Amino acid sequence: MIVFNNVSKIYHMGDEVVKALDHASIHIRQGEFVSIIGPSGSGKSTLMNIVGCLDTADEGEYFLDGMSIKRYSEKSLAMIRSRKIGFIFQNFNLISTMTAEENVELPLIYQGLSMNERKARVKEALEMVDLYPRRKHTPNQMSGGQQQRVAIARAMASKPSIFLADEPTGNLDQATGRQIMQIFHHLHEQGNTIVLITHDEHVAEQADRSIKIMDGKVYDETVGKEETDVPVSASAEETPSEETRQSRKEDPSA
Protein backbone atom coordinates (compact mmCIF):
# COMPACT_ATOMS: atom_id res chain seq x y z
CA MET A 1 0.00 0.00 0.00
CA ILE A 2 1.40 3.35 -1.10
CA VAL A 3 0.16 6.51 0.60
CA PHE A 4 1.47 10.02 -0.10
CA ASN A 5 0.40 12.68 2.33
CA ASN A 6 1.01 16.16 0.88
CA VAL A 7 4.43 15.18 -0.45
CA SER A 8 6.51 17.95 -2.01
CA LYS A 9 9.84 17.83 -3.78
CA ILE A 10 11.49 21.14 -4.45
CA TYR A 11 14.58 21.80 -6.54
CA HIS A 12 16.50 25.04 -6.29
CA MET A 13 18.20 25.97 -9.53
CA GLY A 14 20.01 29.15 -8.63
CA ASP A 15 17.31 31.65 -7.82
CA GLU A 16 14.64 29.61 -9.56
CA VAL A 17 12.53 27.19 -7.49
CA VAL A 18 11.13 24.12 -9.27
CA LYS A 19 8.34 22.29 -7.46
CA ALA A 20 8.73 18.84 -9.02
CA LEU A 21 6.03 17.61 -6.65
CA ASP A 22 3.62 20.06 -5.06
CA HIS A 23 1.67 18.71 -2.09
CA ALA A 24 0.95 15.46 -3.84
CA SER A 25 -1.40 13.01 -2.14
CA ILE A 26 -1.97 9.56 -3.59
CA HIS A 27 -3.34 6.27 -2.40
CA ILE A 28 -2.48 3.01 -4.18
CA ARG A 29 -3.84 -0.21 -2.72
CA GLN A 30 -2.09 -3.56 -2.64
CA GLY A 31 -2.54 -5.39 -5.94
CA GLU A 32 -3.70 -2.38 -7.94
CA PHE A 33 -2.53 -1.64 -11.47
CA VAL A 34 -2.20 2.12 -11.61
CA SER A 35 -0.89 4.27 -14.39
CA ILE A 36 0.55 7.69 -13.77
CA ILE A 37 0.12 9.99 -16.71
CA GLY A 38 1.25 13.50 -17.34
CA PRO A 39 3.26 15.58 -19.78
CA SER A 40 7.04 15.75 -19.83
CA GLY A 41 8.47 17.57 -16.85
CA SER A 42 5.31 17.18 -14.79
CA GLY A 43 7.10 15.23 -12.05
CA LYS A 44 6.33 11.59 -12.91
CA SER A 45 9.86 10.32 -12.48
CA THR A 46 10.26 12.34 -9.29
CA LEU A 47 7.15 10.65 -7.95
CA MET A 48 8.38 7.20 -8.89
CA ASN A 49 11.77 7.78 -7.29
CA ILE A 50 10.12 8.70 -4.01
CA VAL A 51 7.72 5.74 -4.17
CA GLY A 52 10.72 3.49 -4.81
CA CYS A 53 12.65 4.93 -1.86
CA LEU A 54 15.43 6.13 -4.17
CA ASP A 55 14.72 9.70 -3.19
CA THR A 56 13.11 11.32 -0.17
CA ALA A 57 10.38 13.93 0.14
CA ASP A 58 11.23 17.48 1.16
CA GLU A 59 7.81 17.97 2.74
CA GLY A 60 4.92 15.72 3.68
CA GLU A 61 5.06 12.06 4.49
CA TYR A 62 5.20 8.79 2.58
CA PHE A 63 3.74 5.64 4.11
CA LEU A 64 4.75 2.34 2.57
CA ASP A 65 2.61 -0.53 3.86
CA GLY A 66 1.56 1.68 6.74
CA MET A 67 5.09 2.67 7.81
CA SER A 68 6.47 6.16 7.40
CA ILE A 69 9.82 5.84 5.67
CA LYS A 70 10.94 9.24 6.90
CA ARG A 71 13.22 8.05 9.63
CA TYR A 72 14.70 5.03 7.87
CA SER A 73 18.47 4.89 7.39
CA GLU A 74 20.08 4.39 3.99
CA LYS A 75 20.64 0.78 4.95
CA SER A 76 16.96 0.19 5.80
CA LEU A 77 15.88 1.91 2.61
CA ALA A 78 18.19 -0.39 0.67
CA MET A 79 16.55 -3.36 2.36
CA ILE A 80 13.09 -2.05 1.43
CA ARG A 81 14.19 -1.60 -2.19
CA SER A 82 15.69 -5.07 -2.15
CA ARG A 83 12.59 -6.87 -0.82
CA LYS A 84 9.57 -4.82 -1.84
CA ILE A 85 10.39 -2.83 -4.96
CA GLY A 86 11.11 -3.87 -8.50
CA PHE A 87 12.28 -1.05 -10.76
CA ILE A 88 11.93 -0.95 -14.51
CA PHE A 89 13.59 2.17 -15.83
CA GLN A 90 12.93 4.07 -19.01
CA ASN A 91 16.55 3.66 -20.06
CA PHE A 92 16.74 0.04 -18.80
CA ASN A 93 19.65 0.72 -16.41
CA LEU A 94 21.34 -2.62 -16.94
CA ILE A 95 25.01 -2.93 -15.99
CA SER A 96 26.76 -2.95 -19.34
CA THR A 97 29.74 -5.11 -18.31
CA MET A 98 27.51 -7.94 -17.13
CA THR A 99 25.59 -10.55 -19.09
CA ALA A 100 21.81 -10.82 -18.97
CA GLU A 101 21.89 -13.56 -16.37
CA GLU A 102 24.43 -11.70 -14.22
CA ASN A 103 22.23 -8.62 -14.31
CA VAL A 104 19.19 -10.63 -13.27
CA GLU A 105 21.17 -12.41 -10.55
CA LEU A 106 22.56 -9.23 -8.96
CA PRO A 107 19.53 -8.25 -6.82
CA LEU A 108 19.34 -11.85 -5.63
CA ILE A 109 22.93 -11.65 -4.41
CA TYR A 110 21.97 -8.55 -2.44
CA GLN A 111 19.03 -10.47 -1.00
CA GLY A 112 21.52 -13.03 0.24
CA LEU A 113 19.99 -16.00 -1.58
CA SER A 114 21.92 -19.23 -2.04
CA MET A 115 23.57 -20.05 -5.34
CA ASN A 116 21.02 -22.76 -6.21
CA GLU A 117 18.07 -20.54 -5.40
CA ARG A 118 19.57 -17.75 -7.50
CA LYS A 119 20.17 -20.00 -10.50
CA ALA A 120 16.60 -21.28 -10.36
CA ARG A 121 15.11 -17.80 -10.09
CA VAL A 122 17.27 -16.40 -12.89
CA LYS A 123 16.18 -19.22 -15.18
CA GLU A 124 12.53 -18.78 -14.27
CA ALA A 125 12.60 -15.00 -14.77
CA LEU A 126 14.48 -15.13 -18.08
CA GLU A 127 12.14 -17.83 -19.37
CA MET A 128 9.16 -15.63 -18.48
CA VAL A 129 10.47 -12.94 -20.81
CA ASP A 130 11.59 -15.47 -23.44
CA LEU A 131 15.26 -14.56 -23.12
CA TYR A 132 16.77 -17.63 -21.50
CA PRO A 133 18.65 -18.59 -24.69
CA ARG A 134 20.24 -15.14 -24.65
CA ARG A 135 21.38 -15.26 -21.05
CA LYS A 136 25.07 -14.99 -21.95
CA HIS A 137 24.63 -11.79 -23.94
CA THR A 138 25.64 -8.40 -22.62
CA PRO A 139 23.22 -5.46 -22.93
CA ASN A 140 25.01 -3.99 -25.93
CA GLN A 141 24.50 -7.25 -27.81
CA MET A 142 20.74 -6.93 -27.41
CA SER A 143 17.98 -4.78 -28.87
CA GLY A 144 16.14 -2.19 -26.80
CA GLY A 145 13.12 -4.44 -26.36
CA GLN A 146 15.30 -7.32 -25.26
CA GLN A 147 17.14 -5.10 -22.80
CA GLN A 148 13.85 -3.93 -21.35
CA ARG A 149 12.73 -7.54 -20.95
CA VAL A 150 16.00 -8.32 -19.14
CA ALA A 151 15.27 -5.35 -16.88
CA ILE A 152 11.78 -6.74 -16.21
CA ALA A 153 13.26 -10.17 -15.51
CA ARG A 154 15.67 -8.55 -13.05
CA ALA A 155 12.76 -6.89 -11.27
CA MET A 156 10.70 -10.12 -11.26
CA ALA A 157 13.50 -12.35 -10.03
CA SER A 158 13.63 -10.70 -6.61
CA LYS A 159 9.86 -11.28 -6.24
CA PRO A 160 8.90 -7.81 -5.05
CA SER A 161 5.29 -6.85 -4.25
CA ILE A 162 5.49 -3.52 -6.06
CA PHE A 163 6.64 -3.00 -9.64
CA LEU A 164 7.57 0.54 -10.58
CA ALA A 165 7.95 1.08 -14.29
CA ASP A 166 9.03 4.45 -15.69
CA GLU A 167 7.89 4.65 -19.32
CA PRO A 168 8.89 1.03 -19.98
CA THR A 169 7.58 1.21 -23.54
CA GLY A 170 8.69 4.76 -24.26
CA ASN A 171 11.75 3.76 -26.28
CA LEU A 172 10.17 0.80 -28.03
CA ASP A 173 8.05 0.26 -31.13
CA GLN A 174 4.37 -0.60 -30.77
CA ALA A 175 4.65 -4.36 -31.21
CA THR A 176 7.44 -4.64 -28.65
CA GLY A 177 5.51 -2.28 -26.39
CA ARG A 178 2.48 -4.58 -26.49
CA GLN A 179 4.68 -7.54 -25.62
CA ILE A 180 6.04 -5.67 -22.59
CA MET A 181 2.53 -4.65 -21.49
CA GLN A 182 1.46 -8.29 -21.58
CA ILE A 183 4.14 -9.13 -19.07
CA PHE A 184 2.82 -6.39 -16.77
CA HIS A 185 -0.71 -7.74 -17.04
CA HIS A 186 0.59 -11.15 -16.16
CA LEU A 187 2.43 -9.77 -13.11
CA HIS A 188 -0.73 -7.93 -12.08
CA GLU A 189 -2.79 -11.13 -12.32
CA GLN A 190 -0.34 -12.72 -9.90
CA GLY A 191 -1.42 -10.11 -7.31
CA ASN A 192 1.41 -7.62 -7.60
CA THR A 193 1.00 -3.87 -7.34
CA ILE A 194 1.96 -2.20 -10.63
CA VAL A 195 2.70 1.50 -10.94
CA LEU A 196 3.26 2.35 -14.56
CA ILE A 197 4.42 5.79 -15.62
CA THR A 198 3.63 6.91 -19.13
CA HIS A 199 2.71 9.85 -21.24
CA ASP A 200 0.95 7.54 -23.69
CA GLU A 201 -2.87 7.51 -23.28
CA HIS A 202 -3.20 4.07 -24.87
CA VAL A 203 -0.79 2.56 -22.41
CA ALA A 204 -2.40 4.38 -19.48
CA GLU A 205 -5.81 3.06 -20.45
CA GLN A 206 -4.73 -0.51 -19.80
CA ALA A 207 -4.40 0.09 -16.06
CA ASP A 208 -7.17 -0.26 -13.46
CA ARG A 209 -7.08 3.48 -13.10
CA SER A 210 -4.93 6.47 -13.91
CA ILE A 211 -3.45 9.11 -11.68
CA LYS A 212 -2.93 12.39 -13.49
CA ILE A 213 -0.02 14.65 -12.74
CA MET A 214 0.50 18.21 -13.99
CA ASP A 215 3.22 20.62 -12.91
CA GLY A 216 3.85 18.59 -9.78
CA LYS A 217 0.19 18.56 -8.77
CA VAL A 218 -1.44 15.14 -8.50
CA TYR A 219 -5.06 14.23 -9.10
CA ASP A 220 -5.98 10.95 -7.46
CA GLU A 221 -9.73 10.34 -7.12
CA THR A 222 -9.27 7.75 -4.37
CA VAL A 223 -7.81 10.30 -1.98
CA GLY A 224 -10.91 11.63 -0.26
CA LYS A 225 -10.76 15.05 1.33
CA GLU A 226 -7.76 16.38 -0.54
CA GLU A 227 -9.77 16.43 -3.74
CA THR A 228 -11.56 19.66 -2.77
CA ASP A 229 -8.78 21.75 -4.29
CA VAL A 230 -8.71 19.71 -7.49
CA PRO A 231 -9.75 21.86 -10.48
CA VAL A 232 -12.99 20.88 -12.22
CA SER A 233 -11.31 20.33 -15.56
CA ALA A 234 -8.94 17.79 -14.08
CA SER A 235 -11.78 15.86 -12.42
CA ALA A 236 -13.54 15.68 -15.77
CA GLU A 237 -10.45 14.13 -17.34
CA GLU A 238 -10.53 11.32 -14.86
CA THR A 239 -13.98 10.01 -15.83
CA PRO A 240 -12.81 7.92 -18.82
CA SER A 241 -10.67 5.75 -16.66
CA GLU A 242 -13.65 3.72 -15.52
CA GLU A 243 -14.58 2.96 -19.15
CA THR A 244 -11.04 2.10 -20.19
CA ARG A 245 -10.82 -0.41 -17.41
CA GLN A 246 -13.76 -2.29 -18.85
CA SER A 247 -12.57 -1.95 -22.42
CA ARG A 248 -9.23 -3.47 -21.46
CA LYS A 249 -10.94 -6.71 -20.50
CA GLU A 250 -12.26 -7.04 -24.05
CA ASP A 251 -8.87 -6.19 -25.54
CA PRO A 252 -7.46 -9.48 -26.87
CA SER A 253 -3.91 -8.27 -26.34
CA ALA A 254 -4.52 -7.92 -22.59
Partner 1 sequence: MILQSIKMALKSIKTNKLRSFLTMLGIIIGVFALVVLVSLVSGATNTITESISDIGSDMISVTMLDWGANNRLSIKEVESLADKLPNVAATAPAAQGSIDAKTKLKTENVMVYGTTPAYAEIQGYKMKYGRFLMKPDCENHTNVVVLNHDAAITFFGRDNCIGETLKLNGRAYRVIGVVDSGNQQMSMMSMLLNGGGMYTVYIPYTSLIRLASGIKLSVDSFYASAVDGNTGAAKDEINDYMMDKYGDEDMFYIFSQSEISEAMDKVTGTLSLLLGGIAAISLLVGGIGIMNIMLVSVTERTREIGIRKAIGAQPGVIRLQFLIEAMTLSIVGCLLGIVLSWITLQIINILANVSFGLSIPVILLSVLFSSGVGILFGIYPAHKAAKMKPIDALRFS
Ligand X SMILES: Nc1ncnc2c1ncn2[C@@H]1O[C@H](COP(=O)(O)OP(=O)(O)OP(=O)(O)O)[C@@H](O)[C@H]1O
Return the residue of 44, 118, 121, 212 that touches ligand X, per CB under 6 A: 44
Could you tell which of partner 1, ligand X, Mg ion, none binds residue 93, using a CB distance below 5 to 8 A set by kind?
A: partner 1
Note whether 73 binds ligand X by CB under 6 A. no
Binding site for partner 1 (CB under 8 A): 49, 52, 54-55, 74-75, 78-79, 81-83, 87, 93-95, 97, 106-107, 109-112, 154, 158
Q: Are 117 and 125 in contact (CB under 8 A)?
A: no
Q: Which is nearer to partner 1, 99 or 193 (CB)?
A: 99
Sign of the Cα pseudo-torsion (110, 114, 115, 121, in order): negative
List the one residue out of 131, 175, 161, 135 whose CA is nearest residue 149: 131
Chain centroid offset of residue 3 CA: 15
Go through the chain and tell me how many residues it has. 254
- Please state the closest distance from residue 5 (CB atom) to Mg ion, in A: 23
Q: Would you call 195 helix, strand, or coil by DSSP?
A: strand
Window contacting ligand X (CB under 6 A); options: 13-21, 62-70, 134-142, 233-241: 13-21
Note whether 43 binds ligand X by CB under 6 A. yes
- Please state the closest distance from residue 54 (CB atom) to ligand X, in A: 12
Distances (CA, A) of 56 to 53, 90, 165, 184, 190: 7, 20, 18, 26, 29
| Residues 42-61 contacting Mg ion, CB under 5 A | 45
Give the CA radius of gyration of the chain: 18
Return the residue of 20, 122, 180, 194 that touches ligand X, per CB under 6 A: 20
Q: Which is nearer to partner 1, 63 or 110 (CB)?
A: 110
Q: Which is nearer to partner 1, 42 or 241 (CB)?
A: 42
Return the residue of 5, 25, 35, 45 that touches ligand X, per CB under 6 A: 45
Note whether 41 binds ligand X by CB under 6 A. yes
DSSP labels, 13-71: ETTEEEEEEEEEEEEE-TT-EEEEE--TTSSHHHHHHHHTTSS--SEEEEEETTEE-TT
Q: Which is nearer to ligand X, 43 or 52 (CB)?
A: 43
Q: Are 53 and 38 in contact (CB under 8 A)?
A: no
Window contacting Mg ion (CB under 5 A); options: 41-49, 51-59, 234-242, 245-253: 41-49
Torsion of CA 217, 219, 220, 225, to 10 degrees: 90
Backbone angles phi, psi at 63, to 5 degrees: -105, 120
The residue ranges that bind ligand X (CB under 6 A) are: 11, 13, 18, 20, 38, 40-46, 199
Contacting residues toward Mg ion, per CB under 5 A: 45
